[in-house]
Amino acid sequence: MYRFLFSARWFGWLVMVIVIAAGCVGLGRWQLDRREAVVENIHRIEANYDATPQRYVPGSFVLDGYDPATEWTPITFVGTYDVENQVIARNRPLSGQPGYEVLTPLRLEDGSAVIIDRGWLPIGNDEAGRPDDIPEPPPGEVEVTARVKPGEPAVKRGAPEGQVASIDLTALSDRLDYALQDAAYGLLALERPAAAETPLAAPKPSIDEGPHLSYSLQWFAFGVLAFVGLGYAAREQRRANAEQAGTAVRRPGRQRRRPSSEEEEDAILDARGIR
């Protein structure tokens, strides 16, 4: 009854279903990979974000060779802000509002420097959209606690003077005439002494996994449903074939007329030789 499955038409349907199912499996695995990356970041946040700050020791911590496992780790630096080489990173939305992040080199006691992201500012009212005012950091020697973040890749997009398109530490290092630790930068958590006015501090990152797991299960289900749909179509085809075959077998021929009572009596009399 299922011999029709060996036809070229149904073989084509099978190939198409296999391709669809493979695509669904690939998308499901992609969502699982995304979830794995999110979960890994959540574990780093939970382990490092509120940890006790570690004191920076030249040549012995993450800024000299960034390790992803140390992201969000708070480190305490002692140094002096270099306001003259301060820049702002553009296209930094926060809660749906466009703005900038203030990047200031902090010159350390060992002669090198680290970039400190001092916070976020909204766009200003002038035509260029620059912030109306950039708060000055504390003057003189300052103790800064900042959380470690990796540098960003370079982007092929220009920026006006005093601005950068991304936190590309290699490009920022080229702007300076002293050594910049370009493996990572610091996201400001605390300054001592505190500045009179500071940019808006970065919010704590979300620890929500998102819908990646449910999306992956949906894609796997779609792959299974593709085969279920093919099986259902084959069953309906078999049923239609069976109905057609049954109709051909039961097709009536020319029906003979049933003899009447008088004809039956005449036939009996003829058989007995009465007539």
- pTM for the full model? 0.73
pLDDT of 18 over the 80 cut: yes
Residue where the block lists tokens 């699982």: 32
Q: What is the tens place of the pLDDT at every residue in 21-56?
A: 999 999 999 999 999 999 999 999 999 999 999 998
186 within 8 A of 115, measured Cβ to Cβ: yes
| Percentage of the chain lying above the pLDDT 90 cut | 46
Q: How confident is the model at residue 202 (pLDDT cuts 50, 70, 90)?
A: confident
Over the chain, what is the mean pLDDT? 86
Q: Extract the tokens encoding 165.
A: 């398109």
Q: How far is CA 164 from the centre of its chain?
A: 26
76 within 8 A of 66, measured Cβ to Cβ: no
More confident residue, 199 or 158: 199
Q: pLDDT value at position 130?
A: 81
Cite the DSSP H helix spans in the chain: 8-48, 169-174, 212-249, 261-272
The average pLDDT across 233-251 equals 76
Q: How confident is the model at residue 236 (pLDDT cuts 50, 70, 90)?
A: confident
User: Cα angle vertex 164, ends 160, 166, to 5°?
Assistant: 145
Q: pLDDT value at position 35?
A: 94
Q: What is the tens place of the pLDDT at every residue in 74-86?
A: 999 999 999 999 9
Q: Is residue 78 classed exposed, middle or buried when 0-12, 13-18 and 19+ CB atoms within 10 A define those classes? A: middle
pLDDT of 253 over the 60 cut: no
168 within 8 A of 153, measured Cβ to Cβ: yes
Annotate 55-123 with three-state secondary structure: ECCCCCCHHHCCCHHHCCCEEEEEEEECHHHCEEECCCCECCECEEEEEEEEEECCCCEEEEEEEEEEC
Q: What is the tens place of the pLDDT at every residue in 206-219?
A: 888 899 999 999 99
Q: pLDDT value at position 68?
A: 84
Q: Extract the tokens encoding 186.
A: 């610091």
Task: Give, as one character, the DSSP assignment of residue 3.
Answer: G
Q: pLDDT value at position 115?
A: 95
Task: Please give the Cα distance from 263 to 235 (Å, whole number).
Answer: 52
Q: How confident is the model at residue 125 (pLDDT cuts 50, 70, 90)?
A: confident
Q: pLDDT value at position 160?
A: 82
Closest residue by Cα to residue 108 from 73, 72, 57: 57
Q: pLDDT value at position 124?
A: 80
Helix (H, G, I), strand (E, B) or coil at 2: coil
Residue where the block lists tokens 């590309």: 168
pLDDT of 255 over the 80 cut: no
Q: pLDDT value at position 242?
A: 80
Task: Please give the Cα distance from 181 to 127 (Å, whole number).
Answer: 35
Count of all residues that appear for the chain in the document: 275
Task: Please give the Cα distance from 77 to 79 (Å, whole number).
Answer: 6
